[in-house]
Chains A and B, each alone.
Chain A
């Protein structure tokens, strides 16, 4: 095997290696810029309207959250001020005088058309029915959220 052949083999191999690297990059490039946007022909949903702070008012959508059981029974907060912080702290939108509630216990946030309740790492947890929630969970009208000894629900 002559020196020259080996030299050519080496150059050829390095060329192959770089052709591979560059093709991988070009696939990534086309992947970033070449994606199809959903077209009307495929009958996908129309583009969503821009994000709003709170979901649009529709018949049957909740407008406020109310405490229905516990020491602060009757307290309410409007969902227009979302996100709503619930806890014993002074900065909470619904302040609960409940020993089993943490300072910043949970919050109710909007995402799209949905309302979510999210636990903020509270000591005693936030329950939806009998289930302790571990991640933001959707709540609808009348779903009872239990925080300490207090129960809240979304109302029209």
Chain B
């Protein structure tokens, strides 16, 4: 509480000017990559550079103006980082388009427009993130429905062995991407109410407080849901993401490492059983242990990605001068391999740093946030992004077995891009509330009843 009191006196500046400056740099990063691709492939600056750059700039400026108007105290670094990553992703997808003669970059630009529109809508229609706490169980139900949707006949669609798509006419969508945002809201709303019961009771064994048996209910439910996704939808990545997310939030809410021990044991137990039973899990682990055993078959994708990283070296071959299209899925899951080949380790480290900064800013918003719900939502969203980046980049670089997930903001994929823009909007909303100076309260009125009783503004009943 003492640290909290000193933070309350710490007045944050708005920093919107700094945000604008960084946004201009981010645009240079995005549009520069696009121009560089044109120079590398065709030997000339692309003819539509002005139109493309103008569209990108318009989107970014629109987002900035909305932040200025409705969330003036929001974190100044998040939006520029996201704009830079998104712009760079577009350029790399465009590069792969040129190699494969496809038109994904245009589609991705449309999805980015949708993403920015939802970003703006979230900020405008959600003036206070605590309203979301009312929809704790509604959000949970919606998330479960969304997760079940791909299993239904007709609209469910199986792509590359994973049943995580729904197809309505020409539009494909991954409901799991939206479900992860809803699940963060559900977990936060649940834990903020029940954390004392989860944190106080329990017995101590070997210096670690273990939770009570009957409090294991929610973690068991999440475990079953994760295993269900793994078994029924054959989606390793999402299963890992959801369970890891719940564990992180449980640990942060209760401050008890016992949950990590229990959850970790459950995760490794489940993974071991899945490894024994399911061929596709075994296959992934085999590829991870020795990708070169079957380098033209199962291991082809990973081996080509590793060749790409090696061929790129420290500063890369230059945009437009590598062969990123040799890696299957190089525009989505394996986009880091394309970047590693054409821009080298230097750019890969820069991108990892940018992801690190996003997570740092999100955790910072959680740290200074004045309400428990906002803290947990910000932590959960940071956890989603961190886990996703770790799982996918760890998989591509053969640190851990490969599990399909998109690289946030870089990969080709509309559902993921749109959901991630909404995540950033929620983070900006929470950081805006956290950084806004506390309203002055009169210290002493003659009649104590006239004193304002609350420092934190409450949610108005609707």
Contacts and interface: CB of A to CB of B under 8 A. Distances in A.
Contact of B454 (A6, A60, A138): A138
Contact of A6 (B5, B26, B33, B318): B318
A51 B200 CA distance: 24
Nearest to A113: B451
Nearest to A50: B2
B76 A27 contact: yes
B48 interface: no
Interface stretch (B61-69, B289-297, B342-350): B342-350
B252 to A, nearest CB: 17
B134 to A, nearest CB: 10
B203 interface: no
A14 B347 contact: yes
A28 B13 CA distance: 12
Contacts of B160: none
A30 to B, nearest CB: 8
A94 B34 CA distance: 69
Contacts of B353: 21
Contacts of A80: none
Given A10-B319, A31-B76, A121-B196, A18 B346 contact: yes
B10 A35 contact: yes
Contact of B10 (A10, A37, A104): A37
Interface stretch (A38-46, A67-75, A144-152): A38-46
Contact of A51 (B5, B437, B440): B5
Interface string B348-386: 001001100100110000000000100000000000000
B22 A20 contact: yes
B335 to A, nearest CB: 15
Given A27-B77, A134-B193, A17 B39 contact: no
A111 B454 CA distance: 11
A51 B443 CA distance: 15
A14 B77 CA distance: 20
A90 interface: no
Nearest to A134: B193
Which of the listed residues A28, A47, A50, A59 has the most CB atoms from chain B within 10 Å of its own CB? A28
A1 B318 CA distance: 13
B453 A23 contact: no
Interface string B2-27: 10010011111101001001100110
A24 interface: yes
Interface size range of chain A in the complex: 35 or more
Interface string A56-91: 001111000000000000000000000000000000
A7 B318 CA distance: 7
B28 A135 contact: no
Contacts of A138: 453-454
Contact of B343 (A14, A34, A45, A135): A14
Given A13-B36, A20-B22, A45-B443, A135 B346 contact: no
Contacts of B318: 6-7, 9-10
Interface string A111-131: 111100010110000000000
Nearest to B78: A24
Contacts of B455: 112
B222 interface: no
A122 B259 CA distance: 21
A20 B25 contact: yes
B200 A13 contact: no
A10 B315 contact: yes
Given A6-B39, A23-B25, A118 B32 contact: no
Contact of A14 (B26, B346, B361): B346
B169 interface: no
B53 to A, nearest CB: 14
Contacts of B298: none
Contact of A27 (B2, B18, B198): B18
B360 to A, nearest CB: 8
Nearest to B4: A51
A68 B28 CA distance: 69
Contacts of A17: 29, 88, 343, 346-347, 350
B76 A51 contact: no
Nearest to B12: A35
A35 B368 CA distance: 14
B22 A58 contact: no
A48 B357 contact: no
Contact of A9 (B26, B39, B448): B39
Contacts of A11: 315
B10 A135 contact: no
B350 A21 contact: yes
Interface in B412-462: 437, 440-441, 443, 448, 451, 453-455
Given A10-B319, A113-B451, 10 more contacts: A10-B318, A11-B315, A13-B33, A17-B347, A20-B25, A20-B84, A23-B22, A24-B357, A61-B448, A118-B196
Interface of B: 1-2, 5, 8-13, 15, 18, 21-22, 25-26, 28-29, 32-33, 36, 39-40, 43-44, 76-77, 80-81, 84, 88, 192-194, 196-198, 200-201, 315-316, 318-319, 321, 343-344, 346-347, 350, 353-354, 357, 360-361, 372, 437, 440-441, 443, 448, 451, 453-455
21 contacts: A9-B318, A10-B316, A11-B315, A14-B344, A16-B28, A17-B29, A17-B347, A20-B22, A21-B354, A24-B80, A31-B18, A35-B10, A35-B13, A51-B1, A58-B448, A61-B448, A120-B196, A120-B197, A120-B200, A135-B192, A138-B453
When A and B form their complex, which 6 residue pairs have the shortest distance between CB atoms, in order from nearest? Answer: A121-B197, A1-B43, A10-B318, A60-B448, A20-B25, A27-B18
